[in-house]
Amino acid sequence: MENNLQFRRPSFTLFLVVVILVSLLSGALIGYTVSTLTLSENITDMQDQVSRLQEQLSNTQSTSSTGGQSNTYLIGENASLAPLYEEVKEAIVIIRGLTLDYDNFRRTYYSQVQGSGFVYNFNGQTVIITNYHVVEDTINITVTFINGNGYEATVLGSDPYADLAVLSTDASESDYSALEIVDSATLQVGDPVIAVGNPYGLAGSMTTGIISALGRTITEEMSGDYPIANVIQMSAPINSGNSGGPLLNYQGQVVGITTAIVSDSQGLGFAIPSSTVLREIESLITEGSYDQHSWLGASGTGMTYEIAEEMGVDVTYGWLIAQVTSGGPADEAGIQGGTKQVAVAGEYVVIGGDIIIALDGTRIKGIDDLSTFLEANTSPGQTIDVTIMRDGEAMKLQLTLGTRPTAT
C-alpha cells in the first residue's frame, strides 16, 4: 500500500505544476496580444496625424508658390493671425484732418477728426481708400503710416452715397504696401473676418469676428438720408477711429471697409462691401465722383403683418410706397403713393399706396432687398419690371430708372 501512495503523490504534484505553467503562459500570451493591439492602434493614429499634417503643409506650400494668391493662415484646427497681421500692417494708415466749427457765440474754432484707411494700387497708381465721412468738410488732411512717417493728402474723389473716398499723397515708395481687393459677392454669413484700423488713435489695432448678415441698408446724414445699400453686417468689434479701415478675409484680402457701428450695441458693426469699391474706384480716381446710383423717385416703408392687417391685404412683405416724387421714374411708371396716415404698432405709417413685391422677378421683402437689388443689378436709364400689389391684385409695370440726385 505504501508503494502505491508514494507513486501517486509525485504524479499529482506534476499535474499541478503543468496546470500552473499553462495558466501563466496563457496569461502572458493574452497580455502580449492586448498590448500589441493597443500599440498598433496608437501607431495607426499617429500615422494618420502625420499624414494630415503633411497634407496641410503641402497645401500651404502650394498656395505660397502660386503667384498673386495669399496664404490662409491656418495651423491644424487653429488659426494663427500673427503672420497675416505682419503682412498687412504696413498698408494701414491713420487719417487726420481739421473741421471748422462754431461755438454758441458763433466764434469759429477747429476740431480734429481721425479715421483709418489703407493703401491700394489701381492700374499702377497708388492711392489710399477710406470712408467719405472721415474726410467730409475737412482741411489739412494728413496720412501717417505705421512706421510713423506722415504726409499731406488730398481727396481725389468721393461718393457720399457709398461712404467712399480716395486720397492721394506724395509718400515715398518705401512706405507703400498695397492690399488686394477681392469681390465680396462670394461672402457668406458665418465667414470669419478681420478688421484692422486705428480706434481712438491706437494705430494698427486688429479685431476678429464673423459675417453676421449681408445686404443690409444703413442711412447716414452725409448721404442725404438716401440708403447706403448692400452693406455687410459683422461682429468684429470696431470703435471711433476704425472708420475707413479694411475688413479682411483670412487670406488677408479686402472684402469691405468698416464704416459704422450702432451706439450702445454689442458687436454690431457695418462695412461697405468691396464689390461697391471695385465698381466705383475707376470713376472716383478719374472723374472725382460716381453718378451711377439708380433712382426710383419714391419713399416708403417695409411691410409688416400689422400694416397688412390695417390695410386689409394678404401680403405681409414688400415695400409700401408712401410718396412718389412728381415727374420721377416711379411717377412716370404709374406707381401710386399713400392716401392716409395711421398709427400702427405705436408708429405712424402712410398707407393706401402700392406695395412693391418684386423687381425683375426677384422677391422684395423690404428696403434691404430693394436697395441691394438696385445697387448691385441696375444702372440709371435701365428699364426694369416692377411687380406691385394694388387693391389686392398683383400688377406688373415697367419703370425706367433715373439717376439719384446729387447729395447736398
Q: Is position 243 annotated as part of the catalytic site?
A: yes
* Marked catalytic residue, from 70, 133, 175, 294: 133
State the catalytic residue, choosing from 243, 274, 275, 294.
243
**Is the torsion defined by CA of 198, 202, 205, 207 positive or negative?**
negative
- Torsional class of 155: left (φ above 0), alpha (ψ -120 to 50), beta (otherwise): beta
Please give the helix or strand (H or E) that residue 31 lies within, else none. helix 2-64
Pairing relationship of beta strands 254-261 and 402-403 according to DSSP bridges: unpaired
Please give the Cα distance from 405 to 383 (Å, whole number). Answer: 18
CA distance 117 to 95: 7
Burial class from Cβ neighbours inside 10 Å (0-12, 13-18, 19+) for residue 156 reads middle
Contact call for residues 389 and 313 (beta carbons, < 8 A): yes
Residue ranges of E strands in 220-304: 227-234, 246-248, 254-261, 269-273, 294-295, 298-302
Active site residue 368: no
* Marked catalytic residue, from 116, 158, 163, 275: 163
Query: Is 133 one of the annotated active-site residues of the chain?
Result: yes
Place of cell 448691385: 376
Which residues are the active-site residues? 133, 163, 243
